[in-house]
Amino acid sequence: MAFFGLFNKKPSLPPADLSVLKVDMHSHFIPGIDDGAKNTDESLEMLEEMKNLGYKKVITTPHIMSDGYRNTPEIIMKGLERLKKRVAEAGIDIAVEAAAEYYFDYDFEKSIPQKNKLTFGNNYILWEMSFMNKPDNINEVIFEMLMSGYKPVLAHVERYPFWHNDYSVYEDLASRGTLLQLNINSIAGQYGGPTKKAAEWLIDHDMISFLGTDCHHMGHLEVVRQVLTEKYMHKVLASGKLLNSTL
């Protein structure tokens, strides 16, 4: 039986090199303004680990949602400046910028034409939806974002359960101008088997434009380290489709 287990063990891969990404564009490092870092010490611990993982820059993205975290660009930018000061004082060699993760709700939808959203890179806007119910007017809102000059990036696209039985939706989203972001930890199955399966399908079909840690706490980064030897982590990094390094 021991020999049986030995010969059936999955071949191990060397840890993937995350430094090729250079930039993480989805995280929650500004302390005390959403469900991410609770205090500056936690922020600094996570940012030190991000540097150790090979990242040169993080674009942290606090939640903005009407019924939850009512952050504004002013709140986020003030929090960013305080955090950058502490990062410099701690001597952590990593650049820190900020955008936001916008929740698809009425306030977000009606305010898109105001063109006052926090974006990153080439006017990319990170947005998410409810995990319970798909909005009926998703295509209209994507169109509105595009007409307002934004480049929509759908956060953790693999995690929405209402699409797990119809992967063709991913192709439809891409055809409408939406770029797709994958959480690294989905490759490890942290969010469940169906999400892991969706992540693998998206990687197999070269549909991922951005990888993100979506880091809220150190536990997330511990899983990131475990993912580095996974086949699909190597595959997505080698896809030639990722835009992280352009940010």
* Sequential pLDDT tens for the chain (247 residues): 444 444 444 657 999 999 999 999 999 999 999 999 999 999 999 999 999 999 999 999 999 999 999 999 999 999 999 999 999 999 999 999 999 999 999 999 999 999 999 999 999 999 999 999 999 999 999 999 999 999 999 999 999 999 999 999 999 999 999 999 999 999 999 999 999 999 999 999 999 999 999 999 999 999 999 999 999 999 999 999 999 999 9
Residue 3 lies in a domain: no
Report the distance separating Cα 22 and Cα 41, nearest Å: 23
Q: Residue 114 is part of a domain; what is its CATH number? A: 3.20.20.140
Measured in degrees and rounded to the nearest 5, phi and psi for residue 58 equal -125, 140
Report the distance separating Cα 98 and Cα 118, nearest Å: 8
Residue 2 lies in a domain: no
Q: pTM (2 decimals)?
A: 0.94
Expressed as residue numbers, the domain containing 143 is 14-246
Contacts 24+ apart (CB under 8 A), 141-148: 141/104, 141/109, 141/112, 142/173, 142/176, 142/177, 142/178, 143/176, 144/109, 144/112, 144/113, 145/112, 146/177, 148/112, 148/113, 148/115
Cβ neighbours for 189, distance < 8 A, ≥ 6 positions apart: 195, 196
